[in-house]
Amino acid sequence: MSCQHCCGANLQFDIDNANKDLKHYLKKGSRKMTKLLINALKQEELHDLSLLDIGGGIGPIPLELIPNGIRKVTDIDASQGYIDVAKAEMKKRNYHQISYQLGDFVDLSNQIEKHDIVTLDKVICCYPHVEELLKTSLSKATKYYGLVYPQATIISRIVVWALNLKLKLKKNPFRTFIHNPELVHNTITAAGFQKIYSGKTLLSWQIHLYKKTVT
């Protein structure tokens, strides 16, 4: 991710949006696509596993998996506002097994150890160099790899085009992307993972969970 794109992400995902997302979460719970990924993970044995949540936002995944026995969480996010809001909510719940790093995950990856679970919830659609992001994040996953990203449909493409136009008019360099689902899947399976769950929302999102089968 370029510095310009990363700075744009920090503008797009500011503390006001983070507070809105937290308010929605506290009132209604996780959004449907995130809930599907969380529920798929809950079907697995999570006790004493570690989680690397890339682009974790306000933290709905660790918030719901820590009670299921996750022992350690690392959250990487490009937004200082989202990290601040997530930290405050975790502290309020007395969850201390989570650490945060601000920045581009790919740039920070050499500082990050391997985790049992890696999740990217609505993240690869925010990243221009998807193969680099996928390969780098896959190298950190030892058991499970879960992600949520847009379906490559006409509706999704229209939504992304409209959002990018809005960002351009606001002079924000951040952009969103529709990446090839076949490329995404093939990159993951080439790293030794097998898909164990697949779901979709009605119009926009696809949700997949993979399990490591080859070491």
- Strand positions, DSSP E, the chain: 50-54, 72-77, 98-102, 115-121, 141-150, 193-200, 205-212
Per-residue model confidence as pLDDT tens digits over 48-66: 999 999 999 999 999 999 9
Which residues have a Cβ under 8 Å from the Cβ of 65 and sit 6 or more positions away? 38, 41, 42, 46, 51
Query: What does R_g of the chain's alpha carbons equal in angstroms?
Result: 16
CA angle 147, 164, 36 (to 5 degrees): 20
pTM: 0.90
Domain region containing 19? 3-212
Total domains present in the chain: 1
Q: Give the burial class of 69: count Cβ atoms within 10 A of its Cβ; 0-12 exposed, 13-18 middle, 19 or more buried.
A: exposed
> 9 pLDDT band (50/70/90 cuts)?
low
> What are the pLDDT digits (tens) for 58-115?
999 999 999 999 999 999 999 999 999 999 999 999 999 999 999 999 999 999 999 9
Model confidence band, residue 215 (pLDDT cutoffs 50, 70, 90): low
Which CATH number does the domain housing residue 73 bear?
Answer: 3.40.50.150
Whether the pLDDT of residue 10 is over 90: the answer is no
Q: Token match 């719901």: residue? A: 64
